[in-house]
Amino acid sequence: DARVTQTPRHKVTEMGQEVTMRCQPILGHNTVFWYRQTMMQGLELLAYFRNRAPLDDSGMPKDRFSAEMPDATLATLKIQPSEPRDSAVYFCASGLAGIYNEQFFGPGTRLTVL
Amino acid sequence: AQSVSQHNHHVILSEAASLELGCNYSYGGTVNLFWYVQYPGQHLQLLLKYFSGDPLVKGIKGFEAEFIKSKFSFNLRKPSVQWSDTAEYFCAVKGDNDMRFGAGTRLTVKP
C-alpha cells in the first residue's frame, strides 16, 4: 500500500528557530507538491517539483522558506527563521506528471511556532 | 491560471438529508476535476474525479458529482448523508499546470 510519508507529524518550536519538514513521495511518482493549510487561508500551494526540478514556488515566502529535492525519494521544506504566523499544517503530495493524474497526500506536519 | 470557488463555507445537515456542495472554476481549456475529502485530523483523500466521458461521476461512499461544462461547475452530491460524512470537502481543478484547490466546505452532519 504505497503512501506519501511526512516527518515529523508534529513540531513545536520557538520563533526564530529553523524548521525542516521532510516528505517521501510514493515510489515512481515524479511530481511533488507542498501545501500549507490554515483556518484563515485554507489550502495554499507553496511549491511543486517535477522530476526534482522546481517548477513553481511563487506561493512561498522567499525570504524564509526554501524547498528542495535532494533526490527522488526525499523532498524538504525549510523555514528559517520561523515565525508564529507560519503555524499551520504542511501537506506534501505526490503524483505522476500529466493532466490525468491525481495527487496523493501525506498525513501532514502540524507546525506550531511559539 | 485556473481558479476554484466553493460557495458554501460551512454546511450543517441532519442525517439522511440530501447534500449538494457547489464548485465553480474559471479556466478556458481542458480541465480535470476532483473532489477531495478531509476527515477531522486526517489528510486529504480523493473522493472522485472527472477526466472525460460521462459528466456524472460516481465516487466512493455514495458520492457523485456532475460536470456541467457550460456552467463551469462540478457540484458534489449525496442523496442521504451520514454522521460519518462530517468532514471538509475540497474541489480541485487541474488545467495545464498545477492543481488549484477551492477554499473548502466544512460539512457537519448532526446525528
Q: What is the pLDDT along chain B (111 residues), one digit of tens a residue?
A: 668 999 888 999 999 999 999 999 988 788 889 999 999 988 899 999 998 899 999 998 999 999 999 999 999 999 999 999 999 999 998 877 667 889 899 999 998
Inspect the interface and report whether the beta carbons of A106 and B43 lie closer than 8 Å: yes
Q: What is the pLDDT tens value at each position of chain A, 114 positions in all? A: 689 999 999 999 999 999 999 999 999 999 999 999 988 878 888 998 999 998 888 788 889 999 999 999 999 999 999 999 999 999 999 998 765 568 899 999 999 999
Q: Cα separation of B19 and B13, whole Å?
A: 8
Whether the bond between A81 and the residue before it is cis, its omega within 30 degrees of 0, is yes
Choose among B40, B35, B1, B2: nearest CA to B21.
Answer: B35
* Joined grid coordinates for residue A87: 503555524
Least CA distance to A91: which residue of chain B? B43
Which residues in chain A touch residue B39, judged by CB atoms under 8 angstroms apart? none
- Which residue shows C-alpha cell 492543481? B99
In order of A56, A58, A77, A96, the CA distances from B97 in angstroms are 10, 13, 21, 12
Least CA distance to A41: which residue of chain B? B103
Residues of A within an 8 Å Cβ radius of B = 33, 35, 42-43, 45, 48, 55-56, 91, 93, 99-100, 102-108
Task: Give the bridge partners for A36, in sequence order.
Answer: A44, A90
In order of A21, A31, A45, the CA distances from A72 in angstroms are 16, 9, 20
How far is residue B111 CA from its own chain's centroid?
22
Least CA distance to A42: which residue of chain B? B103
Residue B61 — φ and ψ, nearest 5°? 60, 30
Query: A114: which residues sit within 8 A by CB, 6+ positions away?
Result: A12, A13, A14, A15, A84
* Joined grid coordinates for residue B23: 464548485
* Closest partner CB to A102 (pick from B42, B49, B90): B49
